[in-house]
Every structure is written in C-alpha cells, then in structure tokens.
Amino acid sequence: MKNRTVPLNSLLRQAATIASLLCHRGWAERNAGNFSVRLPGKPSAFPTFPKKKIFSGTLPEALPELISDWFYVTVSGSRMRDLAVQPAESSLMVRLQKNGRDFQAFPLKGEAKQPTSELASHLLIHCFLKKQGALKKAILHTHPTELIALTQIPACRNKAHLNRLLLGMYAECAMFVPKGVGLLPFMLSGGLDIAKATLAELKEHDTVLWAKHGVLSVGRDLDDAFDSVDMVAKAADIFLKVKSSGHEPEGLSLDHIRALARLAAPMLLR
C-alpha cells in the first residue's frame, strides 16, 4: 500500500502554533525544548536539496523498524520563539538509511542543519510507539515552570502522591489525563539512559515528568501532546497558588476522580 503524504505547510503551521504557545506559557527559555512527528511517508510539497545541504549522522543504536518513515524535528539549538515566526528555518526532515542507524537530515530552508541533540531519544521512543501499534506520532519535550517547581517538593517526587495531587486539582485533568503522569528522578539529558527510563514510564502514561528538568509528552499530533502537558501544568499551578495563599488544597475525592475518568472515556476513544 502506498504511503500517505502529509501536507508540509499544514505541519509547519501546527508546529509554529505550538512553539508560540510554549513561549507564551514561559516554557521555552533560550533554546529549551524540542519536538518531533513521525510521518507515514514523504511530505507533499517537499523541496529537493543538493547533497551539500544534507546533514548526515549515525544513531547509537539501529532502529530498522523506522526506515520507511520520515520525521519532522526541531533543529539543534533552535529557539521556539524563532520557530513560531519562521518554522521552516528552525526545523527539518529526517530519514533513516537502510541499515536503520545512519540518517540524513534535510533542511526545509537554507543550508544544512543538525537535528536536535535529543534525536536518538526521540527516535527510540517513536520506535517503541510504532511497535506498540499506538496512534501517537508526536513527541513534545518542554520546561513547564509549574511542574518543575512541583518536583522541588520532596513529597511530590513520589509518583502515587504526585498523581493523586494532580488529578484531584480540577475536573478536566481527571477527565483527560486519567492515566496520570510518569515520573523520573533527575537525570542528565541528551543520552539514551533518560530515553530508556522514559520508555518504561510510557508503558503506563502518555506524559512523563522529569524531576527538576521538564516533561515529555506523546500524542496523536503536536496539539494532542501539548494538551496533556497544558492540563497537568494547570493542575500544578492551581496547587501552588492555593498553597501560596496559605491554605491547604482540598482537591477532588477519589470517587469524583474515578467518575470523571469514566465520563471522559468515550471522548478519549474518538
């Protein structure tokens, strides 16, 4: 069956919107954050580049399951505030070679560019999602202030406590993030250790909080991945605001949380 094509302009518009939202939330300081989208085929209206404009690299591990796919990814060192205005200059397309380890990165505008330093981690997670048959094709990593602040509190570095707190803060979080969040202790980023630890959490959650660092979320597209982070961050913000007012948050009861999750279940299957 022939691979479906994806309109490149549509993808760039969505990426620019998400980058703008990340900046507006204050989650994208300097060059913080990155994202990627797995595509079932070469995007339509994709330009042709001479070899001198193609960046070539090698992954630490072969991922032959991904050789038929294309990946839209952010450029190494790129700023979300720039991507929001000129998405083609701050992103590129990546495709693996037949050995599943070597890759080529095609700029969408200008000269050859290097993909995000987290490329190997992104592709490892995409490989996991694909093998699981998941519909989730987008990965978003960002630095939500509220969630990073929450992990400065020792009790909130206990996953069970953290999820009870977040899901209890307001109805929509209990409805649309019913699986809660995964949680990792502080780990150095940029290597496969944190990616593999994240994979273990993604078996149960779509959003994983990296203590004192940020969050990684997966979704059907970038909007879906952003929505999960946005709701969890709002829950954290509500908790912190109530605490800062000198009061103890009451939260929803477990019965309410479970009832809300049941109510939302049909909507999440659409």
Verify that 13 and 130 share a domain, yes or no: yes
Verify that 25 and 116 share a domain, yes or no: yes
The predicted structure's pLDDT at residue 110? 85
Verify that 126 and 176 share a domain, yes or no: no
Residue 18 sits in which domain range? 1-142
Verify that 249 and 210 share a domain, yes or no: yes
3 state SS of 88 = helix
Verify that 148 and 130 share a domain, yes or no: no
Verify that 138 and 153 share a domain, yes or no: no
Whole-number Cα distances in Å, 234 to 27, 142, 166: 13, 15, 9
Last residue of a domain, one of 117, 142, 167: 142
Q: Where are the beta strands (DSSP E) in the chain?
A: 34-39, 55-58, 70-74, 91-96, 102-107, 138-142, 182-184, 207-210, 214-219
Verify that 151 and 135 share a domain, yes or no: no
- 176-202 CB burial, b ≥16 within 10 A, e <16: bbbebbbbbeebebeeeebbebbbebb
DSSP secondary structure letters along 150-162? HTTSGGGGSHHHH
Look up the CATH number of the domain holding residue 162: 3.40.225.10
The predicted structure's pLDDT at residue 35? 97
Active-site residues, by number, are 118
Residues of the chain with pLDDT under 50: 1-3
Last residue of a domain, one of 93, 110, 142: 142
pLDDT, tens digit, 9 for 90 and up, residues 203-213: 999 999 999 99
How many structural domains is the chain composed of? 2
Verify that 58 and 122 share a domain, yes or no: yes
Residues facing 94 on adjacent strands:
71, 105
Verify that 150 and 51 share a domain, yes or no: no
The predicted structure's pLDDT at residue 50? 64
Amino acid letter for position 174: A
Verify that 118 and 175 share a domain, yes or no: no
Verify that 84 and 32 share a domain, yes or no: yes
Last residue of a domain, one of 85, 117, 142: 142
Verify that 127 and 148 share a domain, yes or no: no
- Taking the C-alpha atoms of residue 202 and residue 129, their distance in angstroms, rounded to an integer, is 9
